[in-house]
Each structure stands twice: as structure tokens, then as C-alpha cells.
Amino acid sequence: MATAQRGYYDILGVQRDASADDIKKAFRRRAREIHPDLHTGAKKTEMEKKFKELNEAHEVLSDPDKRKKYDQYGQNWEQAEAYEKARQQAGGQAGRGGAPGGAGGFSGDFGDIFETFFGGRGRGGNATGFAVDGEDLETDVELSIRDVATGVSRRIDLTERVTCKACGGSAIVRGRPCVVCGGSGTQTEKRTIEVRIPAGVQHDTRMRIAGKGQPGVNGGRPGDLYLRVHIQANGVFRQKGSDIHVTLPVWPWEAALGADVMAPTLAEPVKVKIPAGSKADSKLRLKGKGLPTSGGEHGDLFLKLKIVMPTGLSDEERALYEQLSHGRHNDPRAEILAASKRHSS
């Protein structure tokens, strides 16, 4: 067996408790590094051997049943069922006074038993000709809230691994390691693609762009590109789903008497009416002024009123406030004072 000296987990470079997704990613990554079609000459022969081992390891560890047998029996996993049957048969013979050696009629290491029954037969397979799918790529993209409102096109710079142009993948130039690729036979290459991000995308969304990841090898499918969307913080607009929230400052007299004021939206400012007697933190709803939804509609824009006090009062303005203070008004603290007494009794 080609992998007799190395375990499957070592070949893939993963831990024994690796998940199925970890094993898949490790196989793709390693396959792109050692695929024979990326190399020439002596290096290609070496990579064919390694690629055969890699495919063997992946085939076993990606199959839950085979992986379970491998974890139990090691390199001899293929003969596990036959071994169990042989052991049961031998155990029956021992029960009739046959073989010594304890339960099942066997003694010694499983590997020795395996060699006795099966002669160390291994797995075959052709290293070349395998199609290897390209790896998936993932990158972050930052958007403004206005980008989210309209949708936007972005140019994404990607880095992919290709056959070294200097050595043709052999890793050797004139008997020496290739100085361009450092003897790896591959080198990185940058490419730029343009993607369209639709309007209404949510913060931390993971978008899939099919077929825009690493290219496949030997006819394998290209991987996918995943964009992780981050929406930049905005000092005016706050996104909550498809709705937008804005804090709108108003003067005390505007809140008390009512007023028409200008309010910001994702498009142009609009005039809104502040109802007379509005309280701090009151909310006004502008229907359809939020972000687009997947159903083709729009969320709403909510204006939260914040009453701000004027500074630098003139004598006349101060006199007006003093006059207002002498009017007949209910104590604004009466409600919470009464509640505090109820809770303390």
C-alpha cells in the first residue's frame, strides 16, 4: 500500500477529530499543490505518487463508514469485515478445542493476523487523470448605507495559485530549485473580477458568487467566491433589517407648538410635520423610505425626536422662559415620584 508508512490524517494534514468540511477543504488545498498536471519531469513522477496517496486518504476519510473502520483497524480497514468473519470462524474452532490464544482463537497484533489471512494486500488507483475541483475563496467587502439602498458594483482582487511559468511546474531550473516559485512548482497570480451586490443586502451577509473561486484542475469545477458584507457605521442612519432609524433634533417650541421641519432620508431630505405636544423620543414613521426588500418592497424610515435646548439665551428669550415657568403646569416628575413610593412601601 502506498500509504503504509503514513496515516491518512497525516497525508491530509488534519487532526483525527477533523470535521467532514475540514477534510474536504484540506483535500482541495493539498490537491492543488501536488496535482501531477501542475508539474513536469521528475517532479511530476513524485507528485503522481503523492497524489495517489492523497486520493486514497480522502476517499476513506470522506466516507463515514470507511472512516469508522479506518479509525478502528488502521491501514487494514479494508479487510475489517473479512477479518471479523475469519476471527469468528477461528473462534468457533477454538471453542471446539482448536486454536489457542484466548477469545476468538487469535493472539498477537492485528497486523500480524491480517498478514496471515490476507497477505498485506493494498489499494490501487491511478494518480493521474483525476479532476480536482477548485477551492472556494472568501473575502470581505465594505458598503455604505447608501450602497445598500441602491445596490453597487465592486471590483474584487483575488489571488490564485497557478503553475510556475519559469519552471513549468517542475520546480527545477538547470538542476537547481526554481528561484521564482522557491521550488514549489506553483506561484500566485492576481486577477480582478467585478461583482454586483444587490440593493437591500444585510450586514454580515455571506454572498455566494458561483464559479468565481479558484479554477479546477484537469477539468474540475471552479470553486465559488463568498463575499462577507460589512455595512459601515453611519452617524445619521442606523439599519435594522430593512428599516432605517434617524434621531431628529427639534427645539422645545417646535415640539410644543408643532412645526414643519426638514428630515434626512437615503435619497433627498423631505419635509415632515412635527405634531403639537410631541414628547422626547416620540417616533414618526415615513412609510417606504427604508431599504429595499427581497420582495421588491421597501422598509420604513423612523424619526426619533430629540428635544434640544438652545444655548446663549438673550435677555428676551430668558424672560420668555421665566414667564413660561410661572404658568400652570403639572409636575413632570409627579408620576415617577408616586411610583417610587409604591415600590418602597
* Domain co-membership, 99 together with 20: yes
Top-confidence residue, 210 or 115: 210
Q: Which domain holds residue 162?
A: 137-231
* Domain final residue, candidates 118, 150, 176: 118
Pick the last residue of a domain from 231, 254, 288: 231
HSE of 78, CA atoms in CB hemisphere, 13 A: 15
pLDDT tens for 195-242 read 999 998 888 899 999 988 887 766 778 889 999 999 998 889 999 989
pLDDT above 80: residue 309: yes
Quickly list DSSP for 170-208: SSEETTEE-TTTTTSSEEEEEEEEEEEEPTTPPTT-EEE
**Residue 124 domain flag:** no
3-state secondary structure of 75: helix
Mean pLDDT score across all residues of the chain = 79
Do 276 and 211 sit in the same domain of this protein? no
pLDDT of 281 strictly over 80:
yes
pTM for this model (two decimals): 0.53
Is residue 213 domain-resident?
yes
Report the pLDDT value the prediction gives residue 84, as an integer from 0 to 100: 59
Question: Is 129 inside a domain boundary?
Answer: no
pLDDT value, residue 303: 97
Query: What pLDDT, on a 0 to 100 scale, did the predictor assign at position 262?
Result: 96
For residue 123, is it within any domain? no
Same domain for 260 and 167 = no
Q: Are both 100 and 147 inside the same structural domain?
A: no
User: Does 244 lie in the same domain as 222?
Assistant: no
Q: Does 268 fall in a domain?
A: yes
Check whether residue 61 and residue 46 sit in a common domain: yes
DSSP string, 43-65: HHHHHHHHHHHHHHHHHHHTSHH
Helix-then-strand count for the chain, H and E = 10, 13
Of the candidates 168, 342, 147, 324, the residue with the CA atom closest to the CA atom of residue 252: 324
Query: How many domains, in total, are found in the chain?
Result: 3
Q: Please identify, among 202, 231, 260, the residue that sits at the C-terminal boundary of a domain.
A: 231
Identify which of 24, 21, 72, 49 has the alpha carbon closest to the alpha carbon of residue 127: 49
